Chains A and B, each alone.
Chain A
Amino acid sequence: MHLTSPQFKSNVDHALHDAQLQKALGNVRAGFIDKRAKAAAALPEFEALRDNARDIKDHTLAHLDLYLEAYEKRVTESGGHVHFAETAKDACAIISSICKSVGAKTVTKGKSMIAEEIGLNDFLEADGLTTVETDLGEYIIQLRHEGPSHIIAPAVHLNKEQVEADFRRVHKDLPGDRDLSEPASLLSEARAVLREKFLAADVGITGANFLIAETGTSVIVTNEGNGDLTQILPKVHIVIASVEKITPTLNDASQILRLLARSATGQDMSVYTTFSTGPRRPGDVDGPEQYHVVILDNGRSSMLGTEFEDMLRCIRCGACMNHCPIYHSVGGHAYGWVYPGPMGAVLTPTLVGVDKSGHLPNASTFCGRCESVCPMRIPLPKMMRHWREREFERNLSPATVRWGLSVWSFFARRPKLYQFSTGLAMRALGAFGRAKGRFSFLPLAGGWTKYRDFPAPEGATFQQQWKAKRGAA
């Protein structure tokens, strides 16, 4: 996916003026928050499960090398193959060579964020393969040549009229006068079109929500069943997953599964949770003849032992972005890469460099909702602060920000002067703004007053009021 994170500000400007996008984003605000809250409230053990899930992942990360070895051993024993890839390019090359080894022409794909991260479709297409995304949302954005705008609802930025136009443009052999006005008719058309693709595919590629060391099993979670048709019908099943998907046991995965769907869509459990171990067994009448797992590092190992290690607990539920006021305003594409929202603001700088994505950890109000709903208790705001610090240390923040900070720090280190000048400023602003109670223009605050008024101060500064209150108590 083409990186546009460096142009975050113009992306945002574009997003805020995109009426279709703003309409579609209403579905995020309306759809996810209540459902998650209800599902979490209905399970009394939810908070205890969050604690345990955090501890399971922390334990796993501290022993990651050993669990990787144990996992690999079990996969091999069950007749599968494990491949390790240091970089995105290595992973693409491994997958492409497996496809070529069986003379594949068509590849179906279950939804995988790692495949998006490594740009797998473009790589395989350049090698002459046809790739077909089978998750409904992914299928739609593939038709539009777009990246996902949400990690579990990739087409959440679109309205049904846009999907209808795309289906009419691409499914040319269907009658032109067919009715596609309702989501149900769109779904039904996609089902019929994709059913043929499933049956014709030579290789199926899925991601994994967990790789289980106890049994050498990969786990996918879907609602549509597309991941299953992707992996049981073709003769080769390839799993692409990153190192931190390793989970010690089936029981550990069960603990985390209780959090995943509730946090993501507010379901108690997703419809299909599928545990796959090796290829078809002797006597089996269906299932793939070959089973490969490609384990990707792509910079994650360098997060271990740093202040960003907690991010490796992420299970990609999307709750952080579903609850983020920034995401609600600008959608996922503005973030400029595959991972949007708070988790993207932390992960993207790790994977593509903070020099290219420094805007992302700054695009936060630090309201803390992301951390409060994160099933894995990842301290997202704290890690965004770490990125801001690194950006500052490496002299990457814009000159105006650095100038502003140095002015502020000059005053902040001189409390008497600070109190005197803020007191003076409050009085002045209060006097000027008394008539209207607000400012529609203020020098140096044009970025604020362009979109909204600035309220005029009505009394003393916070510190003065605090002092008065404590004196009174």
Chain B
Amino acid sequence: MNGREAVLSRVRQSLGVTGKEESRRREVAERLADVPRGVIPARGQLPDEERIALFMKQADKALATIERVPSAELVPEAIAMYLRSKNLPAELKRGEDPRLAALPWERAPQLAISTGPTGGRDLVGVSHAGAGVAETGTIVMLSGPENPSTLNFLPDYHIVVLSAGDITGDYETAFDKVRAQYGAGVMPRTVNFITGPSRSGDIEQKLLLGAHGPRSLHILVVG
């Protein structure tokens, strides 16, 4: 008997079932199809503007920095300003996400921009979020050819562009968006929920930022 059969038959023996019971199979199939939402915190169930404000407040609590940019055209200048305020070189690497590619980068001509994944030599990475979650100030990153996951982790500074309209109240609604985009039961290779910059408390339980991932997370909420 192989490992698979052995484990499954032992589970069935302990449960006293055969695995063929119609009612059990139906119950499982229904839960997987209906994806019940459970208890949703009231905190995030707000009108648009208040939900965006909650997102910004919670991201700040998680030690990210956040700024609101009224329109997408202003993003390149906002990024250039941020780099200057941190005394960083005007260089960045970004994915080829069409929402980033369409930005008027010529408005910040001092920025030296390269695209693609990072091998760890880039100080600043810029990504576009798939969604934001207001209840905890969490950004949701969806991997793909134009959105490399390495940009989320290897650069010291991670700058994330998030459309205000993509901010949901709760994780469950963010997953609804993923299901709508990829189909039921299908996920991108990597979905990263990110809540603040990397940290560790492993030495004497003292919180320190910048463990292995970015030391700073800067979120630009657009619109």
Contact = CB atoms under 8 A, between A and B. Distances in A.
B198 interface: yes
B211 interface: yes
A140 B202 contact: yes
A26 to B, nearest CB: 10
Interface residues of B, number: 82
A31 interface: yes
A285 B145 contact: yes
A304 B202 CA distance: 35
Contacts of B180: none
Contact of B192 (A32, A223, A274, A277): A274
B102 interface: no
Contacts of B216: none
A255 B172 CA distance: 9
A155 B203 contact: yes
Contacts of B12: 65
B197 A286 contact: no
Nearest to A268: B136
Contacts of B191: 217, 274-275, 277
B38 A287 contact: no
User: B19, B37, B135, B204 — which one has the most chain A CB atoms within 10 A of its CB?
Assistant: B204
A86 B171 contact: no
Chain A, interface residues (CB within 8 Å), range: 35 or more
A248 to B, nearest CB: 5
Contact of A153 (B62, B152, B193, B205): B205
Contact of B32 (A62, A156, A249, A269): A249
A435 B59 CA distance: 63
A326 interface: no
A348 B195 CA distance: 34
Interface in B37-53: 37-43
Interface string B1-31: 0111011101111111101000011011001
B32 A70 contact: yes
A263 to B, nearest CB: 15
Given A45-B41, A67-B28, A226-B211, A285 B3 contact: no
Given A276-B190, A284-B189, A252 B195 contact: no
What are the 3 closest A-B residue pairs judged by CB atoms, nearest first?
A225-B213, A224-B211, A137-B202
Interface of A: 24, 27-28, 30-32, 43-45, 48-49, 52, 56, 59, 62-70, 72, 74, 78, 82-86, 90, 94, 134-137, 140, 153-156, 158-160, 163, 183-184, 186-188, 191, 194-195, 198-199, 213-217, 223-226, 228-229, 232-233, 243, 248-252, 254-255, 257-258, 265, 267-281, 283-287, 295, 297, 301-306
Interface of B: 2-4, 6-8, 10-17, 19, 24-25, 27-28, 31-32, 35-43, 58, 61-62, 116-117, 119-120, 135-136, 138, 143-145, 148-150, 152-154, 170-172, 175, 178, 185-206, 208, 210-214
13 contacts: A43-B43, A59-B31, A155-B202, A194-B212, A225-B213, A228-B213, A232-B149, A248-B31, A254-B170, A274-B190, A274-B191, A281-B145, A301-B14
